[in-house]
């Protein structure tokens, strides 16, 4: 994935938008995949991206959260925590498959298929320049931002 073109994707997003990856050429794009709306880790992660959103915008970057949840679930999650960025609904796992983030995970002693918390940074030319897999939530948004800052220099 690294140093290769980001997959072309067209998926439904919050605010009645359609996410089309081609629309964001010329900007940095942060795609963060998370397991489930309104769960503790995913909420913290979203809030950290929310709290740094102005810095991402100033760095000419757009942030999108992606999970398999429905648009209705996403709209509620986004509204409850005042996320200033859009959430992409990937119920058919199109983006999840393209970025290879579906993994077998242990949940309460059972094997379940789920999203491995992962983030991808796409540069203004549409190339994946960083990827983080098995993300630890705390401080992750700041780490992604620092990576964008270092790409500017």
- Catalytic residues, by residue number, are 42
CA separation (Å) from 12 to 98, 108, 115, 138? 16, 31, 18, 28
Residue whose token pair is 């000419």: 60
Residues whose CB falls within 8 Å of the CB of residue 86, separated by 6 or more in sequence, listed in order: 13, 14, 15, 17, 19, 64, 65, 78
| H-run or E-run covering 49 | helix 40-51
Instruction: Measure the CA–CA gap between 67 and 75, rounded to whole angstroms.
Output: 12
CA-based nearest residue to 6, from 107, 140, 131: 131
Strands (E), 34-93: 61-67, 86-89
């Amino acid at each position: 994935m690294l140093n290769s073109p980001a997959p072309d994707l067209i998926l439904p997003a919050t605010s009645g938008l359609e996410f089309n990856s081609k629309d964001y050429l010329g900007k940095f794009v942060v795609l963060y995949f998370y397991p489930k709306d309104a769960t503790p880790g995913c909420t913290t992660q979203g809030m950290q991206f929310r709290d740094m959103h102005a810095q991402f915008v100033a760095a000419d970057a757009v942030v999108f959260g992606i999970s398999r949840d429905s648009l209705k679930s996403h709209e509620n999650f986004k509204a409850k925590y005042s996320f200033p960025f859009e959430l992409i609904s990937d119920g058919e796992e199109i983006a999840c498959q393209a970025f290879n983030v579906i993994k077998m995970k242990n949940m309460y002693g059972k094997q379940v298929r789920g999203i491995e918390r992962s983030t991808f940074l796409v540069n203004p030319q549409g190339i994946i320049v960083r990827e983080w897999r098995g993300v630890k939530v705390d401080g992750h948004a700041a780490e992604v931002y620092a990576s964008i800052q270092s790409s500017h220099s």
